[in-house]
Structure 1
Amino acid sequence: MDFELSKQEIGRRIVLLRNRKGLSQSELSKSINISRPSLTQIELGNRSISLNELQRLSHALSFSLDDFVAKDFQLGQNIDSTKEAQPVTEERISIPTLNINKFKNVLLYILERCAGKPNVGETVLYKLLYFSDFNYYELYEEHLTGAKYKKLPYGPVPQKLDSVINQMLDDNEIQRIKTAYKGFAQKRFLPLQKADLTQLKASEKDVIDKVLEQMSDWSATAISDYSHKDLPWEVTEDGKDISYNLAFYREVPYSVRVYDEDFDH
């Protein structure tokens, strides 16, 4: 070839081809007999790929090696047109759609468990919602509330929250109060009704419970500092939406999924 592909460009092309085939990272890693962490590192451009691995990928994703390494690589030319591509689901490309009813019940459930704790003001609440959503997505590749989170200086913040909060205030589902915690003014919310637990699957409630057990006693400063080291927040540009797919690139202690060891090591 006339030019040399960078690891980052190789990773980008693999992501495009994988999404075009409608495959999750887990499905692809199993089909080419490497671990999911290895595949995520390849897709991030942090790990080199061997010729043997690239050949297995070409078979799994139906592309020609010559086309893949070409300077004028185009996605449409690298998929075997004789095979019908699977549709890319919403979860595969991580386009969250806010489920307002689910979001309200998750919020009410968190408030039921935590509203009495003096540290749980707005900042802590936002982070508990964020980790519940992203931990669930990492585990199940499905959205919990479908909320979008933006990278702001104090950590990830759910979007459209103000409108949902205002609606819940108008419907007397929650109450807003102002208190002081360790000398700082803080905005807090109290639940005025119980969450409808029939709207939460056992797996969803379990993920939320684990987040609350780990973090609900943390101060706003501690949980904000912790969120700043979570890879999805860390690699996102300031003011941009945080992609749920970045949860698959987490490492200990942020990753909540137990991945298999490398099959090839």
Structure 2
Amino acid sequence: MINQDFLSRIRRKNNWTQEDMAKIIGVSRPTFIALEKGIGSPTLDQIKKLADKLGCESQDILSEDIVDEEKYREVLLETIRYGAATDGKITKTKLAKLIYLNDFAWYYQHLESMTGAKYRRLKLGPVPNIYFSKVEELINEGVLNLEIKKDGSQMISLSRAGQMLKPNLLKTEEKKLIKNISQKWQGKRTEEIVKFTHEQLPYKICRDGEVIPYELITQQDPEYVY
């Protein structure tokens, strides 16, 4: 099943207009707009045309980690804004877990991912590949500060420039959920949230290194979604 945001994520990732995408898959712009809104799904032939344009196989597109990188960036920054301790700092591991809870809780409520990231079952919990590269990118841009403590833990905080950035891609409901989840775990130790994610059904069912299907969170007890 193709996620409702599938086409729009590919379009934004490649800086294509709706007209561009319509021409690529061989439909009118109004038809593409309807597809992008989730009214129907693209045919296999249309997916193949898109794959040909991207120089890959159809299956590569359907299994690709199609992340809305700008939106993921905003989710990351908002999570720090609300989830950091009173000193403005949060461990890199705890930040990753909070973003995971944001994504899966949003799926639990709306049957779609907030960012499109694919999370793998790792030793310290579910983490998408984009997390590490995005944090490093934001540090290099001067948006985030990184402090490595004597015990080796990595503390992340918003720089002055980062504090000035405001989200413009996140929906009001998404921002509210991020705030609620972040504040719920604010002040809790990293070990507590790691243990919590390990005890959730999606993590328990999957094997090490496997991608964790979002659908599994719908079977989770509501009290333990986040």
Q: Which TM class, normalised by the smaller chain length?
A: 0.5 to 0.7
Aligned pair partner of 1:99 in 42, 50, 68:
68
CA contact (8 A) 1:115 1:191 kept: no
The total of aligned residue pairs comes to 168
The reply on whether 1:108 has 2:77 as its aligned counterpart is yes
**Cα distance change of structure 1 residues 117 and 158 upon mapping to structure 2, 3 Å threshold:** farther
TM-score between the two structures when normalised by the length of structure 2: 0.66
In 2, Cα distance between equivalents of 1:94 and 1:245: 15
Question: How far did 1:243 drift?
Answer: 0.8
In 2, Cα distance between equivalents of 1:214 and 1:115: 11
Could you list the runs of 5+ residues in structure 1 that have no partner in the other structure? Answer: 1-18, 23-85, 257-265
**Cα distance change of structure 1 residues 149 and 170 upon mapping to structure 2, 3 Å threshold:** same
Question: How far did 1:120 drift?
Answer: 2.6
- Which residue is 2:147 aligned to? 177
TM-score between the two structures when normalised by the length of structure 1: 0.57
Larger Rg: 1
Aligned pair partner of 2:224 in 244, 251, 254:
254
Aligned pair partner of 2:156 in 171, 189, 198:
189
**Cα distance change of structure 1 residues 229 and 172 upon mapping to structure 2, 3 Å threshold:** same
Q: Percent identity?
A: 25
In 1, Cα distance between equivalents of 2:69 and 2:209: 23
**Cα distance change of structure 1 residues 238 and 88 upon mapping to structure 2, 3 Å threshold:** farther
Provide the alpha-carbon RMSD of the alignment: 2.7
- Alignment deviations for residues 54-105 of structure 1 (CA, whole Å, 9 cap, x no partner): xxxxxxxxxxxxxxxxxxxxxxxxxxxxxxxx5389xxx9975211111111
In 2, Cα distance between equivalents of 1:233 and 1:149: 10
CA contact (8 A) 1:94 1:244 kept: no
In 2, Cα distance between equivalents of 1:141 and 1:97: 16
Counterparts of 1:12-23 in structure 2, within 5 Å, are none
**Cα distance change of structure 1 residues 187 and 251 upon mapping to structure 2, 3 Å threshold:** same
In 1, Cα distance between equivalents of 2:125 and 2:119: 9
Q: Give the secondary-structure state (helix, strand or coil) at the position aligned to 1:98.
A: coil
Q: Give the secondary-structure state (helix, strand or coil) at the position aligned to 1:134.
A: helix
- Which residue is 2:192 aligned to? 222
**Cα distance change of structure 1 residues 235 and 185 upon mapping to structure 2, 3 Å threshold:** same
In 2, Cα distance between equivalents of 1:218 and 1:88: 44
**Cα distance change of structure 1 residues 103 and 138 upon mapping to structure 2, 3 Å threshold:** same
In 1, Cα distance between equivalents of 2:158 and 2:206: 33
Could you list the runs of 5+ residues in structure 2 that have no partner in the other structure? Answer: 4-39, 44-61
